[in-house]
């Protein structure tokens, strides 16, 4: 099961897993995109691909997706919690409802899907959960405060589950990509942010699947991203906050989101 499968990193996961012969449950809001993707992957790779459109910001939607999959006789052996979005701008100017939806999708949906999928994995004695966090999890993000906080939650949550379940056959991995070559920054209204070179989504997926095979609790794709991840341990936190603020300070009207 791949959430946020219609674009970006989620789309790259769908293609990579289908190429390895995995049947897929594709989840996103866009039903048309999902149906087209499911047909394409099924025809190209000879797999079963099912599209389940859902808005995971809604309470109970995550559990409902797994129930719908179960009614089709599908139980995910691998769950990839990729769906998420960010808001960018001055915290007080961004709509509160939008920021609460951000928390719901980036955190609550991850918890609900993981909680619903784990029992079947544990009964088989095998399974995997990949949660897409971000290098945003490694330090606070002024002007993207909610996004950074939600990704810190995802990282902490994932590593805790890694320790709980690795002796019971279920692997859990947090993926912390840096800037990735998707529409993320363009749509969020932070295209001008000084985020450096953007990694291909396919590379993020390849690195994460390799880390999963190695039993890692988390992975930060890219040497430069790993080096940046160490900076908060080396420099005063106030210095890190100033650096990040300079990178992300809005240069467009505040309030855009993706």
Active site residue 165: no
Cβ atoms of 126 and 76 closer than 8 Å: no
**Residue 234 to residues 159, 223, 244: CA-CA distances in angstroms?**
22, 17, 15
Catalytic residue among 13, 143, 147, 165: 147
Rounded to 10°, the helix 237-248/223-234 angle is 130
Cβ atoms of 84 and 106 closer than 8 Å: yes
Q: Describe the strand order of the beta sheet including 218-219 as a list of residue ranges.
A: 49-53, 24-28, 2-3, 78-81, 127-132, 170-175, 218-219
Cβ atoms of 130 and 213 closer than 8 Å: no
How large is the C-alpha radius of gyration of the chain? 18
Site of tokens 């430069």: 224
Q: Which residues are catalytic?
A: 147
């Amino acid at each position: 099961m791949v959430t946020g499968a219609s674009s970006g990193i989620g789309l790259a996961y769908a293609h990579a897993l289908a190429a390895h012969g995995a049947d897929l449950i594709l989840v996103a809001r866009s039903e048309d995109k999902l149906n087209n993707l499911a047909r394409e992957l099924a025809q190209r790779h000879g797999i079963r691909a099912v599209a389940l459109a859902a808005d995971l910001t809604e309470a109970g939607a995550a559990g409902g997706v797994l129930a719908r999959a179960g009614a089709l006789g599908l139980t995910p052996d691998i769950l990839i919690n990729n769906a998420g979005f960010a808001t960018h701008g001055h915290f007080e100017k961004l709509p509160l409802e939008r920021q609460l939806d951000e928390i719901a999708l980036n955190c609550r949906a991850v918890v609900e899907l993981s909680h619903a999928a784990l029992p079947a994995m544990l009964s088989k004695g095998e399974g995997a959960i990949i949660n897409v966090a971000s290098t945003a999890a490694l330090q606070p993000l002024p002007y993207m405060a909610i996004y950074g906080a939600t990704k810190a939650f995802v990282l902490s949550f994932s590593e805790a589950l890694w320790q709980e379940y690795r002796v019971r056959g279920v692997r859990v991995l947090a993926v912390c990509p840096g800037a990735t070559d998707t529409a993320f920054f363009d749509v969020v209204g932070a295209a001008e942010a000084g985020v450096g070179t953007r990694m291909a989504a396919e590379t993020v997926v390849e690195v994460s699947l390799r880390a999963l095979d190695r039993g890692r609790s988390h992975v930060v794709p890219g040497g430069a991203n790993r080096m940046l991840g160490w900076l908060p341990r080396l420099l005063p936190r106030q210095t890190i906050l100033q650096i990040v603020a300079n990178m992300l300070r809005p240069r467009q009207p505040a309030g855009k989101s993706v």
